[in-house]
């Protein structure tokens, strides 16, 4: 099934195998494309901690058609590159190249996604690479604290699990374990092929169908399962086939002794899913409070006015069924309480009364400018297209996002602040 949507020549299709396709035209001869799979950390079973990320690494280590060395060289030989990343809800394999090399890109992407062999000898080497990555992460408290804070916010749920996994469990994985994970999750109907570039819809479909036919003999799937959910049937645990509901959220205050020169602090709460219309208001409010600009409220209060921090930022992540909002800063251990007090004071100010119309207009103008500039990063645009279409089956463009921002009212910002910034809603994690 193929269709063209809207006058901007955005192309969508569904291939016979069940994989969806979405393609945006661009003004450059460089093409950005990939396969987004609705599989991430939250899809791991209890004994599979780190499997989604480990599988992503191993996917480059050999297929039925190509060795790992051939995979590495395949796109680089024409000046392109091939990469991947794993998130909590998706794994994405993607490549960048000149448009004349699209057939090569389609061949390598379908080969590694559907035809990887996950050989045992490569696993034994790659597990040590991933463990080195874990140890490197553990040596960087400014990065580690983000994962541990998410574990605090989603305690007892797969969303709270570290993407990289745990060294002792990784060393226990065998090739058959990876194959089971892939057959359960790397299903064509669970995927989106996305493209940003000058390639026609017909060429995309014809090329993909041909490429998939070459590896169709490797396509084996199993029924999907969801982690950590059990029903009792004749006193035996049985994995359920619906997603795990989120446990009730309870704010927590945790301090850990990391023996670091600088204290690292996170403050935040559970927030809105990407389906929730309030997440646009939070997106704007987050940018005002701790966005990338030096004029953000937290930067002015903690750094410019008081010289207490070098870095302070706020972030929001919206998942398919929930979200998280947080503030991070690093400071001298003696200044932790003062910084927390200043942040709480600013958050409390937003719960007292709505922002003025003039300040709201300025905030909207700023964030729309940032969005416009970000669209110059074509790779990020392509990845966002793939992820959005994968999870929400929607095509979101720049102008639509502007309209949603323009529609946000001062009262909506105030309501979001009252819902999220109440003292009893805020969790705190401190490394010192």
Q: Are residues 384 and 311 in the same domain?
A: yes
Q: Which of the listed residues 218, 244, 279 is the one where a domain comes to its end? A: 218
d(C-alpha 1, C-alpha 114), whole Å: 22
Q: Are residues 14 and 127 in the same domain?
A: yes
Q: Are residues 37 and 123 in the same domain?
A: yes
Question: What stretches in the chain show pLDDT beneath 70?
Answer: 1-8, 217-243
Q: Are residues 53 and 179 in the same domain?
A: yes
Q: Are residues 271 and 210 in the same domain?
A: no
In this predicted structure, what is the pLDDT of residue 176?
93
In a domain, residue 317? The reply is yes
Tally of CA atoms within 13 A in the half-sphere of 32 that contains its CB? 20
Q: Are residues 187 and 288 in the same domain?
A: no
Q: Which of the listed residues 218, 239, 272 is the one where a domain comes to its end? A: 218
Q: Are residues 388 and 310 in the same domain?
A: yes
User: Each residue of 140-150: pLDDT tens digit?
Assistant: 999 999 999 99
Q: What is the DSSP string of 273-319?
A: -TTSTHHHHHHHHHHHHHSSSTTSHHIIIIIITT--EEEEEEEEEE-
**Residues listed for the chain:** 432
Q: Are residues 418 and 289 in the same domain?
A: yes
Report how far apart, in Å, the C-alpha atoms of 366 and of each of 279, 294, 362, 406, 412 are: 18, 12, 6, 12, 18
CATH assignment of the domain containing 90: 3.30.830.10
Q: For residue 354, what is the DSSP state?
A: P
In a domain, residue 206? The reply is yes
Q: Are residues 213 and 275 in the same domain?
A: no
The first and second tokens of residue 402, run together, are 């502007």
Torsion, CA 184, CA 186, CA 192, CA 194, rounded to 10: 160
The domain total for the chain is: 2
Which position has the token pair 């994995």? 239
- Gyration radius of the chain's alpha carbons: 23
The first and second tokens of residue 314, run together, are 């706020």
In this predicted structure, what is the pLDDT of residue 251?
97
Report how far apart, in Å, the C-alpha atoms of 265 and of each of 13, 142, 388 are: 46, 9, 31
Q: Are residues 320 and 424 in the same domain?
A: yes
In a domain, residue 228? The reply is no
Tally of CA atoms within 13 A in the half-sphere of 34 that contains its CB? 27
Domain extent at residue 152? 2-218
| pTM reported for the whole predicted model | 0.91
In a domain, residue 72? The reply is yes
Surface-to-core class of residue 182, CB atoms within 10 Å of its CB (0-12 exposed, 13-18 middle, 19+ buried): buried
In this predicted structure, what is the pLDDT of residue 221?
61
d(C-alpha 201, C-alpha 214), whole Å: 20
Q: Do 198 and 93 contact (CB within 8 A), yes or no?
A: no
In a domain, residue 259? The reply is yes
Q: Are residues 301 and 357 in the same domain?
A: yes
Torsion, CA 18, CA 177, CA 90, CA 391, rounded to 10: 40
Q: Do 45 and 53 contact (CB within 8 A), yes or no?
A: no
Q: For residue 63, what is the DSSP state?
A: B
In a domain, residue 105? The reply is yes
Q: Do 54 and 167 contact (CB within 8 A), yes or no?
A: no
In a domain, residue 413? The reply is yes
In a domain, residue 230? The reply is no
In this predicted structure, what is the pLDDT of residue 138?
87
d(C-alpha 90, C-alpha 103), whole Å: 25
Q: Are residues 131 and 261 in the same domain?
A: no
């Amino acid at each position: 099934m193929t269709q063209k949507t809207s006058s901007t020549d955005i192309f969508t299709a569904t291939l016979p195998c069940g994989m969806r396709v979405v393609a945006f035209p661009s003004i450059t001869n460089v093409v950005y494309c990939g396969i987004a799979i609705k599989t991430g950390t939250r899809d791991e079973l209890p004994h599979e901690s780190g499997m989604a990320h480990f599988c992503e690494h191993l996917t480059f280590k050999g297929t039925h058609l190509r060795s790992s060395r051939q995979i590495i060289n395949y796109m680089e030989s024409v000046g392109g590159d091939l990469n991947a990343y794993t998130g909590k809800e998706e794994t994405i394999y993607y490549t960048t190249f000149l448009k004349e090399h699209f057939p090569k890109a389609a061949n390598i992407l379908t080969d590694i996604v559907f035809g990887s062999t996950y050989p045992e000898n490569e696993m034994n080497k790659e597990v040590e690479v991933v463990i080195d990555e874990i140890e490197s992460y553990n040596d960087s408290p400014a990065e580690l604290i983000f994962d541990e804070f998410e574990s605090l916010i989603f305690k007892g749920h797969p969303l709270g699990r570290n993407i990289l996994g745990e060294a002792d469990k990784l060393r226990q994985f065998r090739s058959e374990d990876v194959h089971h994970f892939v057959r359960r999750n790397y299903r064509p109907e669970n995927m989106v092929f996305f493209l940003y570039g000058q390639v026609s819809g017909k060429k995309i479909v014809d090329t993909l169908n041909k490429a998939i036919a070459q590896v169709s003999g490797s396509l084996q799937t199993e029924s999907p399962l969801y982690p950590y959910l059990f029903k009792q049937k004749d006193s035996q645990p049985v994995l359920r086939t619906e997603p795990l509901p989120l446990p009730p959220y309870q704010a927590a205050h945790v301090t850990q002794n990391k023996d670091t020169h600088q204290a690292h602090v996170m403050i935040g709460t559970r927030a809105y899913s990407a389906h929730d219309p309030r997440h646009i208001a939070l997106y704007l409010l987050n940018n005002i409070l701790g966005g990338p600009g030096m004029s953000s409220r937290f930067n002015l209060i903690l750094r410019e006015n008081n010289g207490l921090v070098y870095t302070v930022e706020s972030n929001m992540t919206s998942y398919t069924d929930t979200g998280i909002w947080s503030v991070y800063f690093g400071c001298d251990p003696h200044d932790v309480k003062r910084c927390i007090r200043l942040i709480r004071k600013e958050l409390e100010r937003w719960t007292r009364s709505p922002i003025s119309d003039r300040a709201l207009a300025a905030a909207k103008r700023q964030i729309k400018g940032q969005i416009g500039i970000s669209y110059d990063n074509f790779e990020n645009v392509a990845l966002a297209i793939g992820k959005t279409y994968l999870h929400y089956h929607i095509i979101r463009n720049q102008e639509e996002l502007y309209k949603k921002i323009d529609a946000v009212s001062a009262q909506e910002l105030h309501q979001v602040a009252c819902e999220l910034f109440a003292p009893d809603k805020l969790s705190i994690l401190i490394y010192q």
